[in-house]
Each structure stands twice: as C-alpha cells, then as structure tokens.
Amino acid sequence: MDKKRRRQGGYFLFVFTCIILILTSCALKPRSSRLLEERKELVELRKSLLHNRFKEAEEKALFLVKKYKDEPVIDECLFYLGLIYANPYNPGRDYKKAIKYFGDLVKRYPNSIWSYQARIWLNTLNFLEELKKLNIELESTK
C-alpha cells in the first residue's frame, strides 16, 4: 500500500510538473516574439544612424521609447538619441538635448552598459559646453 501511494504521488508530481512547464512555455512565447520584434526595430534604428539618416533615426528611437515604455530596450534607445544629437555630422545637432538624453539614461538605468558610455559622453559634452561659454566670454571682452 505504501509503494502504491508513493507511486501515485510520483505520477501526480510528474503530471503537475508537465502542466507547469506547458503553461510557462506558453507564457514565454509572446515575450520571446516581442524581444525579437524589439531587436529588429533596434537594427533598423542602428542602420539609420550608421547611414547618417539622423531625422529617421530620431523618429525611430522616439517611437520605440513610446512603444516600449519601461522595457529593457529603452536604455539603448536613450543612448542612441544622445548620439544622434551629439553627432558632429548631424546638421541638427544639439549638445543640450544630447546631455538631456544621456543624463536621463544615467539616472533611469544606472547599471546599464549604455549608462557607462553615456557618462563618458556626458563628461565630454559638458566640457564642450564649458569651452563654448569661455569662448563667448573671451569674445565679449575683446
């Protein structure tokens, strides 16, 4: 009787485990397809940035920020927005906006790999802004 009871308990445990595995795999499928979609959209954003299509890259990055709100992809989008505005080849470059996006990234995602790079950019851009102010002061004293 004791062996029979253990065997029934073993079957129950096996069936229960199978059900849990099936349910979790079904729950993970939409997440994995969403991750794939995020990655595809990021690749498109990178291509736009690589080919100096800054307006297109900006629109894609802003769209992704709105679409995915608090998903892990946002830190990368904020980094690319900072790069778009800091890029010297961008006719619409704006160091203040770049500083804003890099600062937002560092504040919201301090442990992100993108945050480390954003800190470097922040220091560089803040230094450039200080130089610009000093240059203006020197010009005004002439």
Confidence tier at 28 by pLDDT (50, 70, 90): very low
pLDDT band at 35 (very low <50, low <70, confident <90, very high): confident
Place of tokens 């480390």: 116
Q: What is the 3-state secondary structure (H, E, C) of 3-68?
A: HHHHHHHHHHHHHHHHHHHHHHHHHHHHHHHHHHHHHHHHHHHHHHHHCCCHHHHHHHHHHHHHHH
Q: Which amino acid is at 4?
A: K
Give CA angle at 46 (68, 76), nearest 5°: 40
pLDDT digit string (tens) for 51-101?
A: 999 999 999 999 999 988 877 789 999 999 999 999 999 999 999 999 999
Q: Which two tokens stand for residue 65?
A: 């920020």
Whether the pLDDT of residue 40 is over 50: the answer is: yes
Contact call for residues 77 and 48 (beta carbons, < 8 A)? no
Q: What is the CA radius of gyration of the chain?
A: 25
Contacts of 77 (CB under 8 A, 6+ apart): 42, 45, 61, 64, 65, 68
> Residue 14: which pLDDT band, with cuts at 50, 70 and 90?
low
Task: Give the domains, in start order, of the chain with CATH numbers.
Answer: 37-141 (1.25.40.10)
Q: What is the reported pTM?
A: 0.72
